[in-house]
A and B are shown apart, each in its own frame.
Chain A
Amino acid sequence: METAVFYVLATIAVASAVLLVLFRNPVYSALSLVATLFAVAGLFVLLNAYFLAAVQIIVYAGAVMVLFLFVIMLLNLGHSEALESTVGRYRLTGVIFLCALLVAQLTAVGTRQLRGPVAENEALRTENVQTLGKLLYTDFLFPFEVASIILLVALIGVVVLVKRETPETT
């Protein structure tokens, strides 16, 4: 059952990633990227990485995709002609990177075969979001609170940058 779900999710991820490249309209590309991210989140669930799946959906499929769509809208790339000029230029680079990825992937699979089957990890069978929460609020309390300060700095940065761009609107 798990294997079947894995193959379905992997097919969705790869198919929508291919569609992302093939679509002429950048907005459609962005939406198929959302489908890819959801499928990858499903793969994370299959790997018992529940928190990572939640982060994948909330941050990547939610916030980062909003940013992507906003950039598309702000730069007015919504019509298909906007990307026509840049299609052919990166073809060779794309092929080179694809070959490099393929080599890396095959090497990883090969070394895993050499090492033999993966040992069953008991930690993966426990409810790891709880474990993560407990660690985050005891041992890693300080980095957790620092994270909120980093977010605060980002928020202030946004405000300051925007104010500089449009000084006439107070």
Chain B
Amino acid sequence: MLLDYANVLLFLSVGSFFIVFNLFLGSLFRPDNPDPEKLSTYECGEEPVGGSWIQFNIRFYVVALDFIIFDVEVVLLYPWAVVAQEFGWYGFGVAFVFIFILLLGLAFAWKKGTLEWVRPKVDRFRDTMTRPLVEEAA
């Protein structure tokens, strides 16, 4: 059983070695002449405004909290998945009740709108972002 995990270890070590080795090999051959334009954040044709260390919207935190709850659900279902075949329909029923209770919570959160994504208001977006471009074009 422990030897099975030797495969995991081998996979992890070879994988990490592959990345580090290739980056090292690349650093030997690639030209190195940075300038401010190259080092700036790539923003798809836009001038980047400010740094990336900004305060995040509190709404993302709610999504993270929801994620944690279903993450713990997955952990509790992991021993179930190992023995599910031996238990047959009984095991299916047990897991069904477990998931169903949590689905009630998901439905509640959905109905209350905590899963709704906050979109920027269209008018304000147009005022700050696109109007200068439109005026330039006209």
**Given A58-B74, A144-B76, A159-B108, A154:B69 Cβ within 8 A:** yes
Contacts A51-B79, A54-B78 supplied; 12 other A-B pairs, CB < 8 Å: A46-B2, A59-B72, A73-B56, A129-B78, A130-B82, A133-B79, A134-B86, A141-B94, A147-B76, A155-B105, A158-B62, A169-B116
B-side interface mostly:
helix
B interface residues with partner A (beta carbon < 8 Å): 1-2, 5, 8-9, 53-56, 58, 60-62, 64-69, 71-76, 78-80, 82-83, 86-87, 90-91, 94, 97-99, 101-102, 104-106, 108-109, 112-114, 116, 118
* Of A62-70, A91-99, A101-109, the one with at least 4 CB within 8 A of chain B: A62-70
A interface residues with partner B (beta carbon < 8 Å): 2, 5, 42, 45-46, 48, 50-51, 54-55, 58-59, 62-64, 66-67, 70, 73-76, 78-79, 125, 127, 129-130, 132-134, 136-137, 141, 144-145, 147-149, 151-152, 154-156, 158-159, 162-163, 165-166, 169-170
The answer, among A67, A125, A134, A149, for a CB contact under 8 Å with B101, is A149
A51→B29 CA distance, assembly (Å) = 45
A126→B15 CA distance, assembly (Å) = 30
Rounded to whole Å, the gap between the CB of B70 and the closest CB of chain A is 8
The answer, among B62, B73, B87, B108, for a CB contact under 8 Å with A156, is B108
Rounded to whole Å, the gap between the CB of A51 and the closest CB of chain B is 6
For residue B68, which residues in chain A have a CB less than 8 angstroms away from its CB? 63-64, 66-67
Closest to A126 in B: B1
For residue A134, which residues in chain B have a CB less than 8 angstroms away from its CB? 83, 86
Q: Are B101 and A158 touching (Cβ within 8 A)?
A: no
Q: Are A155 and B102 touching (Cβ within 8 A)?
A: yes
Q: Are A148 and B113 touching (Cβ within 8 A)?
A: no
Q: Are A51 and B67 touching (Cβ within 8 A)?
A: no
A59→B68 CA distance, assembly (Å) = 8
Q: Are B60 and A70 touching (Cβ within 8 A)?
A: yes
Q: Are A130 and B83 touching (Cβ within 8 A)?
A: yes
Closest to A127 in B: B1
The answer, among A50, A55, A78, A156, for a CB contact under 8 Å with B75, is A55
For residue A46, which residues in chain B have a CB less than 8 angstroms away from its CB? 2
For residue A147, which residues in chain B have a CB less than 8 angstroms away from its CB? 76, 98
A66→B68 CA distance, assembly (Å) = 8
Q: Are A151 and B64 touching (Cβ within 8 A)?
A: no
Rounded to whole Å, the gap between the CB of B100 and the closest CB of chain A is 8
The answer, among B72, B75, B104, for a CB contact under 8 Å with A54, is B75
Q: Are B71 and A62 touching (Cβ within 8 A)?
A: yes
Going nearest first, the 3 A-B pairs with the smallest beta carbon separation are A133-B79, A155-B105, A78-B53
For residue B116, which residues in chain A have a CB less than 8 angstroms away from its CB? 169
Q: Are B72 and A63 touching (Cβ within 8 A)?
A: yes
Closest to A59 in B: B75
**Given A46-B2, A148-B102, A156-B108, A136:B55 Cβ within 8 A:** no
